[in-house]
Amino acid sequence: MISIALLGFGCVGSGTAEVLTENKKLIESRLGCEYQIKYILDLRDFPDSPFGSLVVHDFNTILNDPEVSVVAEMMGGSHPAYDFTKACLEAGKSVVTSNKEVVAKFGVELCEIAAQKGVRYMFEASVGGGIPIIRPMMTDLASNKINKINGILNGTTNYILTSMRDDGKSFDEALGEAQKLGYAEANPAADVEGTDAARKTVILGAIATGKLVSPDAIYKEGITKIELDDVELAQTLGYSIKLIGHAEEKDGKLLALVSPMAVPTSNPLSRIDDVFNGILVNANMVGEVMFYGPGAGKLPTASAVVADIVDIIAKREVAPTPVGWVNAAAEDLADVADYSCPRLVIVEEDGKKSAYVTDEMTEAEAKTLKAKAVYRVL
């Protein structure tokens, strides 16, 4: 019998308990062994939940129980999530997580500890919600050099931008709905200011290059300044405005940024709507592949958490903890000034807005444009 502990019983934590319980027979038949959820760590009590009796408030109960071999961390935030993860790995327990903040900040150290201790640190659920992306990039694309990644990596902002474009909803109204649906971060500023997408972008960049850049070091722009008129005008020219996470290797350096971009209808990312995420990976052997699915939400994210748990229990070696990741130094990061693309320009004359698209230009050239708003074109 394998004993699992869950850290956090919020949206993803309760979803993980649900997936492990509802599909228990199916998962056990695939694994050929039985498992149990032994503990759930949370500050709160859940007397009305069927899992209420499993709740503990002291992390040491889990840490000091040798029966617990797999821990799923779904607390969110850096601390104490990082501290608990580190302690579990050091105690020889494998850890899976949906916590992109911890992976993006501390991934190098945590992967190293896992390797030293012969356990696993896995984070499929940290990028793209329910979409299989980390595992396929590490396994199925292992024969490739990854050239470039462009992704819609945040479900909340994609939901907001789709509601603005298709239903003419205001930013605040759409954000409120995304929060109610359980898509947004505890502090939705992380979604709308691009921080969440930046964390996911640097994780994908590390999978591609082995170098983990601090999410604080990359250029990042969110969606809070986008006006409804801009979305509508872009659409009349055949573009959808999407929040894009971009990572590419350029002259041996990693160029990474998060920015709203005007995506032409010819690009499949223009048709990724609502809470869905889409990730285009350009690699030197396979060409371009796309990953698509629900990018946020309780059960889709829990599905990815449980996939990692199953991988660990099955002792599969196909998707190992990344080895040899290093923290990127400042000189490993390309300057965003090197990002060159056409621009969709919104101008306003006599109170009337119009839009046009330029040829390819650098960031410096784009800054000289006289405009109400300028969007990078993907």
Active-site positions?
200
Give the nearest distance from C-beta 9 to ligand HSE in angstroms.
Answer: 17
CA dihedral for 364, 365, 369, 375, sign (positive or negative): negative
Give the nearest distance from C-beta 287 to ligand HSE in angstroms.
Answer: 27
DSSP symbol at 170: -
Tell the residue number behind the tokens 């319980």, with chain if given: 21
**90 versus 274: smaller Cβ distance to ligand HSE:** 274
DSSP symbol at 353: E
**191 versus 230: smaller Cβ distance to ligand HSE:** 191
Q: Is 292 left (phi over 0), alpha (psi -120 to 50) or beta?
A: beta
Residue with the shortest CB distance to ligand HSE: 156
Give 224-281 as a DSSP string: TT--HHHHHHHHHTTEEEEEEEEEEEETTEEEEEEEEEEEETTSGGGG--TTEEEEEE
| Dist. CA 89–CA 119, nearest whole Å | 7
Give the nearest distance from C-beta 86 to ligand HSE in angstroms.
Answer: 22
Give the nearest distance from C-beta 185 to ligand HSE in angstroms.
Answer: 4
Instruction: Report how far Cα 309 is from the mean position of its chain's Cα atoms.
Output: 18
| Dist. CA 359–CA 365, nearest whole Å | 11
Give the nearest distance from C-beta 377 to ligand HSE in angstroms.
Answer: 23
Residue 228's identity, in one-letter code, is: L
| Rg, Å, the chain Cα set | 21
**221 versus 332: smaller Cβ distance to ligand HSE:** 221
Q: Interface with ligand HSE by CB under 6 A: which residues?
A: 129, 154-156, 183-185, 191, 196, 295-296
